[in-house]
Structure 1
Amino acid sequence: MTLAIQEDEKRFFINNEKGEMIAEISFVPSGEKLSIIDHTYVDDVLQGQGVGKKLVALVVDKMRKEHRKIIPLCPFAKHQFDVTPEYQDIRQ
């Protein structure tokens, strides 16, 4: 099963073949130079596949391109920032 990660203005997400959302990370701009990761969700069918980590990495890449810092308020994202030294340059 190959599922495409989609993107809209404030999130990356994955829908299953029925169109149901099974993974998501949402982020909210805060001023001109910050974004807040406020929510991460991965359905049980995707657990253990590194989907959550991939979603965090996509937000990090996007915010680096936009020259924004990230405040990881979501507990999962905060943990990923805590254990990933490569993210420290973009963390607010």
Structure 2
Amino acid sequence: MEILEGNTSFYVNDAEGNRVAEVVFVPTGEHLTIIEHTDVDESLKGQGVGKQLVAKVVERMRRENRKIIPLCPFAKHEFDTTPEYADIRA
């Protein structure tokens, strides 16, 4: 499975090029980014795809020295249960 990067998203396409998983984030201000939405197709549920997508946002925002506001319920849960994300949470 290849995770692709867009301007404000990370996503996974199926063999036909259809988007089957994504996390969408929006930069706000100079040092903040909001994770708005995470969606994973039923065919990929339970495989850790959502976790991998959120981790990609975290990696990128660390490189860009930005903090994250996880508004999306899934991303919020990931931040609540992953102590390694405490340093980047706004």
Aligned with 2:43 (options 45, 57, 62): 45
Q: Structure 2: where are the runs of 5+ without partners?
A: none
2:54 corresponds to: 56
Counterpart position of 1:36: 34
Distance 1:54 1:16 in 2: 16
Displacement of 1:80 in angstroms is 0.2
List, as ranges, runs of 4+ consecutive aligned residues in structure 1 with deviation greater than 4 Å: none
Q: Structure 1 unaligned runs (5+)?
A: none
Larger relative helix fraction: 2
Instruction: Output the TM-score relative to the length of structure 1.
Output: 0.96
How far apart are the structure 2 equivalents of 1:15 and 1:7? 11
Tell me the amino acid that sits aligned with residue 16 of structure 2: K
Q: Give how far 1:19 is off.
A: 1.1
Alignment of 1:10-89 (within 5 A): 10-89=8-87
Count of residue pairs brought into register by the alignment? 90
* Alpha-carbon distance in 2 for matches of 1:39, 1:66: 20
Counterparts of 1:4 and 1:85, CA distance in 2: 26
Counterpart of 1:45, as a letter, is: S
Normalising by structure 2, report the TM-score.
0.98
What RMSD over aligned residues (CA atoms) do the two structures have, in Å? 0.5
